[in-house]
């Protein structure tokens, strides 16, 4: 089985940088070149390229060179995996809250043997 853990590491790490999120926002409107991505960002082209490489290593972005320009585009599958991890945890938590609500109606707070599932 795949080491999904390291993969999620890279995805969340990639999304943790505000500049990279700006790039993702730009890319969600459509493909763009490296220098287009650089435009709103007040940093050197070389720095932007490094960000692109981080995004690519995480799988969030794919790119290909044609001529002298590199065109980047979003890979929605990687976004989906991060989204699913989050929503699964949230769903678990909220389902638990539901159960807890029912228990509080009838039981005293102390329940020593919590038979999980």
Partner DNA sequence: GCAATACTCAAGTGCATGCTTGACCAAACG
Partner DNA sequence: CGTTTGGTCAAGCATGCACTTGAGTATTGC
Angle at 71 between CA 69 and CA 75, to 5 degrees: 160
Calculate ∠ Cα 92-96-102, nearest 5°: 155
**45 is a site residue for its own copies (CB under 8 A):** no
CA–CA dist 71, 73 (Å, integer): 7
Taking the least distance from each CB to its own copies, the nearer of 43 and 83 is 83
Q: Which is nearer to DNA, 99 or 117 (CB)?
A: 117
CB of 6 to DNA, least distance (A): 11
- Residue 107 binding result from its own copies, DNA, none, given CB thresholds of 5 to 8 Å by partner type: none
């Amino acid at each position: 089985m795949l080491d999904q853990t390291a993969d999620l590491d890279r995805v969340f790490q990639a999304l943790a940088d505000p500049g990279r999120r700006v790039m993702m926002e730009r890319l969600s409107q459509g493909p763009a070149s490296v220098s287009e991505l650089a435009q709103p960002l007040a940093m050197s082209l070389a720095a932007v390229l490094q960000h692109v490489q981080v995004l690519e290593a995480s799988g969030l972005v794919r790119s290909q060179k044609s001529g002298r320009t590199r065109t980047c585009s979003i890979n929605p599958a990687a976004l989906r995996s991060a989204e699913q991890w989050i929503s699964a945890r949230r769903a678990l938590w909220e389902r638990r809250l539901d159960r807890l609500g029912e228990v509080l109606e009838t039981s005293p707070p102390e329940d020593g043997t919590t038979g999980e599932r």
